[in-house]
Chains A and B, each alone.
Chain A
Amino acid sequence: QQQVKQSPQSLIVQKGGISIINCAYENTAFDYFPWYQQFPGKGPALLIAIRPDVSEKKEGRFTISFNKSAKQFSLHIMDSQPGDSATYFCAASLRYGQNFVFGPGTRLSVLP
């Protein structure tokens, strides 16, 4: 019930391509869905987040698509760059929750 599933485990994309990472959850009480980006040797950094009252949110090259009925959400990285190569974690929490449930992560490699 508390689990967040994430796929794929790893992803290789050519420079300029679109990277797509998918997540799914079970707990319908989750009310907030952030994405974190983590570079080697660094802590995760908040990238973009969405609440279930909207179906899409875009910030620069990063877009979250949210399907409340399917309990799924995804991260799209447009015009992927080598500097985007990192591990991406989706997460979920209750509204203003203090305990985020993280997905297992996706290691993205963008080839030059």
Chain B
Amino acid sequence: DTEVTQTPKHLVMGMTNKKSLKCEQHMGHRAMYWYKQKAKKPPELMFVYSYEKLSINESVPSRFSPECPNSSLLNLHLHALQPEDSALYLCASSNDRGGTPNYGYTFGSGTRLTVV
């Protein structure tokens, strides 16, 4: 299995809702990431988990709450979002130790989030 699976693919939520994005990988990667991507822009790093511990939080507002229940799963809990939070949310994983000619992230297809 060489994929990162994200669910749901699309999500519409109101500003008072609570929802969660889910990400799963079975490649044995020990680093997992959440990125936010606005239209026609590069991905922006939000969070990094390394060996199931949060290692990087890029000053993300508390209305976004990450969780890593185990080495294969990554969640992003959403609460009280704003319309400007509408974006493509990408999950990625990596083996974080290189050692291969083309080291890098494996991205999921993302969740298209619309906040109304």
Interface residues of A, Cβ cutoff 8 Å to B: 32, 34, 36, 41-46, 48-49, 89, 91, 95-96, 98-100, 102-105, 107
Interface residues of B, Cβ cutoff 8 Å to A: 4, 31, 33, 40-43, 45, 48, 50, 55-56, 90, 92, 94, 96-98, 101-110, 112
Question: In the complex, A44 Cα to B37 Cα: how many Å?
Answer: 11
A-B contact count (CB 8 A): 64
User: Are B105 and A49 closer than 8 Å at their CB atoms?
Assistant: no
User: Are B31 and A105 closer than 8 Å at their CB atoms?
Assistant: no
User: Are B102 and A98 closer than 8 Å at their CB atoms?
Assistant: no
Known: A43-B108, A96-B98, A99-B56. 5 other contacts (CB 8 A): A36-B107, A46-B102, A46-B106, A98-B31, A98-B33
- Chain B residues, Cβ within 8 Å of A99: 45, 48, 56
Question: In the complex, A98 Cα to B98 Cα: how many Å?
Answer: 11
Question: In the complex, A44 Cα to B35 Cα: how many Å?
Answer: 11
- Chain B residues, Cβ within 8 Å of A46: 102, 104-106
User: Are B94 and A98 closer than 8 Å at their CB atoms?
Assistant: yes
User: Are B48 and A98 closer than 8 Å at their CB atoms?
Assistant: yes
Question: In the complex, A103 Cα to B105 Cα: how many Å?
Answer: 15
The 7 A-B pairs with the shortest beta carbon distances in the complex, nearest first, are: A43-B107, A102-B42, A46-B104, A34-B104, A96-B98, A49-B102, A98-B48
